[in-house]
């Protein structure tokens, strides 16, 4: 443990990535404050951290703050040296108007950056995503790096990914024009897997569950970049601590991309009892295209079908000394969590 008197604000403390980041920060000796939308969530955070092996909560405190309101953001930043801005606006349904998702993402990011600048915070590390980097690159021979950007007007781009592109662009623009002494680094993760610290499972888990419980009768031709949540959390901290990360974005990719079929085959070899009900036959793309004409779920996955994106994690490894886990480790940790939290009946 590094003993430090430095304080880090982590936004959105109940989230999958945020809780792992809080756990690692506390284990490194940092003081941590986290924003939650309601104080009722405090016990949930304590429980998740206990599940992660933490016993000392003396360096953790909470503040109520929401990305859609100015309330408490200035107070949240008091005495903080760094901010990990991980929170993203939550939507329980897809909004009818895309601005309902885009505005809170953009405005929330600017709200955090302004409050951090005013409070004299040294650096903000912001979680963007791969959707802001590589969704306009469909040629499998093109290597996607941090220089790449998704065109927000890309056909078939989801509103969520569009909100991420626009929020990140707004953040860099703010820094160029009004950043003052504040520094910014951005992390762009691909598909986040790994161990869950509670039964509230993120979207990656949901997809894996459908693959394994037999509800997906045939497997679409979809490939994912995979990274372990523990490695993404560590990458945020490395980008926070390393002077060279100032003004940089970093792609968070573990062991490269895998198709859904390859994921199922891996689990069938490593943990056959967990994949007994999993299909192994491919779902022809023309069927998805036809179904997408009248089915929203098929329409939502269609932009991902048959797309192979090759991305590089070289920058994070070279500049920050990042050493991510293998895809196998990330995926098997996810399967174990599905079983542990009784999401997958085996």
Q: Is 138 a catalytic residue?
A: no
pTM: 0.96
* DSSP-derived secondary structure for 122-177: SEEEEE--GGGTSTT---TTSEE-TT----TT-TT--HHHHHHHHHHHHHHHHHHH
Read off the pLDDT of residues 275-317 as tens digits, 9 standing for 90 and up. 999 999 999 889 988 998 998 888 878 878 888 889 999 999 9
Share of the chain above pLDDT 90, in %: 81
What is the pLDDT at residue 1? 60
Q: How far is CA 65 from the centre of its chain?
A: 20
Mean pLDDT value of segment 264-281:
96
Q: Exactly one of 44, 138, 164, 317 is catalytic; name it.
A: 164
Given the candidates 3.40.50.720, 1.10.340.30, 1.25.40.80, 3.30.479.10, the CATH classification of the domain at 7-200+225-254+309-324 is: 3.40.50.720
* Degrees to nearest 5, angle at CA 88 with 86 and 90: 145
| Mean per-residue pLDDT of the chain | 94
58 exposure class (CB count in 10 Å sphere: 0-12, 13-18, 19+): exposed
Read off the pLDDT of residues 29-48 as tens digits, 9 standing for 90 and up. 999 999 999 999 999 999 99
């Amino acid at each position: 443990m590094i003993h430090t008197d430095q304080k880090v604000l982590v936004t959105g403390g109940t989230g999958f990535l945020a809780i792992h980041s809080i756990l690692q920060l506390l284990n490194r000796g940092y003081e941590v404050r986290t924003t939650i939308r309601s104080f009722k969530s405090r016990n949930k955070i304590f429980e998740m951290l206990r599940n992660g092996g933490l016993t000392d909560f003396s360096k953790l405190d909470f503040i109520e703050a929401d990305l859609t309101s100015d309330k408490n953001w200035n107070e949240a930043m008091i005495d903080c040296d760094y901010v990990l801005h991980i929170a993203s606006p939550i939507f329980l349904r897809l909004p009818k108007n895309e601005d309902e998702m885009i505005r809170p993402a953009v405005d929330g990011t600017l709200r955090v950056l302004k409050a951090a600048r005013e409070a004299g915070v040294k650096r903000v590390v912001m979680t963007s995503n791969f959707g802001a980097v590589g969704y306009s690159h469909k040629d499998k021979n093109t290597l996607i790096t941090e220089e790449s950007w998704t065109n927000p007007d890309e056909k078939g781009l989801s509103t969520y990914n569009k909100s991420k592109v626009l929020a990140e662009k707004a953040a860099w623009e703010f820094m160029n024009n009004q950043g003052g002494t504040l520094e910014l680094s951005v992390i762009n993760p691909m598909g986040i897997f790994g161990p869950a610290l509670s039964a509230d499972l993120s979207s990656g888990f949901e997809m894996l569950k459908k693959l394994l419980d037999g509800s997906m009768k045939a497997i679409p031709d979809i490939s994912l970049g995979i990274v372990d949540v523990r490695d993404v959390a560590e990458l945020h901290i490395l980008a926070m601590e390393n002077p060279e990360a100032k003004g940089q974005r970093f792609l968070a990719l573990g062991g490269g991309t895998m198709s859904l079929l390859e994921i199922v085959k891996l689990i069938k070899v490593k943990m056959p009892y967990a994949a007994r009900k999993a299909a192994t036959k491919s779902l022809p793309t023309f069927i998805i295209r036809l179904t997408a004409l009248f089915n929203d779920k098929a329409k939502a996955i269609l932009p991902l079908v048959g797309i192979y994106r090759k991305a590089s994690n070289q920058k994070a490894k070279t500049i920050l000394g990042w050493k991510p886990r293998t895809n196998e480790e990330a995926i098997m940790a996810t399967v174990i969590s599905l079983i542990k939290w009784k999401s997958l009946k085996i």
